Amino acid sequence: MLEHGGGLRAASRRYGIALEDWIDLSTGIAPWSYPVPDIPAAVWQRLPEDDDGLLDAARAYYGTAQLMAINGSQAAILALPRVFAPRQVAVLAPSYNEYAPAWRAVGHEVCECTADEILHSAADVILLANPNNPDGMRFARQDLLAAAERLRAGRRWLIVDEAFADADDEHTLVQLAGTQDAPNLIVLRSAGKFFGLAGARIGFCVARPEMFTRLGRQLGPWPLSNPARYVAKVGLGDTAWQAVQKQMLRETSVRLAQLLATHGLAPCGGTALFQYVSCAEAVMLHDFLARHGILVRCFDIPSALRFGLPANEAAWTRLALSLTEWRKK
């Protein structure tokens, strides 16, 4: 299994700090989740049904009808390599660490490309995240569209993972994916990050309908559980909550960037859900913060830390105090 943020239980054992005493900044999941409604007993009891209203809510939220509900965008990240015959695939690096192994595992030839290289790659499939995780790098919408157009001429594909695009949506391509204008464009979306519902495993693939048939064969029936469908339907339709969430996340992320800069850790990138700090002492600072019960995500190549958003004032105070102590060392 690859490393991801959120391993609080393992951190608790390793550092001997009780689970409830941790501040978990190791993920890009919103610290305030959509207030999950009571779930009717019938929803638990019955099998999922396609016409339960989830797709209508998702169509309105994403502004496209070309979508398929899946159990987290991770499900598509693992299944998409299986719907293509082995070919050359260009994957953005550094980025979400699941991409390259998923394609390599089923025989594709994977080339890891930097952000400068990837859109000019000659590969048959180009896969990137926008905004990127962990560094928050953004590809401009017009550059992606030009790349999709070029790729289309050679019957090649562009896959854009927009897991972090809900509150950073200026370059989203979700409304174009799988349309006549961009039939070779596939967009992945997640309800885990912005809605703070990562545990429910809710995601969407936006593409041409034939792709859903092929994906469906990989994912089998009922990829998304009925309770998850119910919660997603309500959350995707709650535009008032979404507007407040978007503003709160953006403001909080700016506050985080400021706090980090005050402590000599000015971020070099970020999104509304995290800040990314390039730092030669990343491993040491990660360990130092963990000893203070604060879990952040550490990357070795390049050496960097990713900070998620603190959930409350107590967490802000503890983070500020720990960073002050770190600077005094």
Nearer to ligand PLP, 17 or 196 (CB): 196
- Considering only residues 178, 192, 223, 235, which one is a binding residue for ligand PLP as defined by CB under 6 A? 192
Distance CA 205, CA 161 (A): 9
Distance CA 205, CA 212 (A): 8
Residue 168 binds to ligand PLP (criterion: CB under 6 A):
no
Query: Contact region for ligand PLP (CB under 6 A) — 70-78, 103-111, 120-128, 262-270?
Result: 70-78
Nearer to ligand PLP, 73 or 226 (CB): 73
Residue 100 binds to ligand PLP (criterion: CB under 6 A):
no
The residue count for binding ligand PLP (CB under 6 A) is 12
Do residues 319 and 259 make contact, with C-beta atoms less than 8 angstroms apart? yes
Q: How far is the CB of 217 from ligand PLP (least distance, A)?
A: 20
Distance CA 244, CA 266 (A): 27
Q: How far is the CB of 230 from ligand PLP (least distance, A)?
A: 17
Residue 219 binds to ligand PLP (criterion: CB under 6 A):
no
Q: How far is the CB of 313 from ligand PLP (least distance, A)?
A: 26
Do residues 131 and 124 make contact, with C-beta atoms less than 8 angstroms apart? no
Q: Under rule CB under 6 A, which residues in 223-282 are in contact with ligand PLP?
A: none
Quickly list H helices, the chain. Answer: 8-15, 41-45, 54-62, 73-83, 99-104, 115-118, 141-153, 209-219, 226-237, 239-262, 282-291, 313-328
Residue 178 binds to ligand PLP (criterion: CB under 6 A):
no
Do residues 90 and 114 make contact, with C-beta atoms less than 8 angstroms apart? no
Nearer to ligand PLP, 121 or 133 (CB): 133
Query: Contact region for ligand PLP (CB under 6 A) — 11-19, 54-62, 66-74, 266-274?
Result: 66-74
Site string for ligand PLP, 117-146 (x = CB under 6 A): ------------x---x-------------
Distance CA 160, CA 188 (A): 6
- Given the structure tokens 């008032």, which residue do they identify? 240
Do residues 276 and 269 make contact, with C-beta atoms less than 8 angstroms apart? yes
Q: If 0-12 CB within 10 Å is exposed, 13-18 middle and 19+ buried, where does residue 103 land?
A: buried
Q: How far is the CB of 197 from ligand PLP (least distance, A)?
A: 9
Positions that interact with ligand PLP (CB under 6 A): 72-74, 96, 129, 133, 161, 163, 190, 192, 198, 203
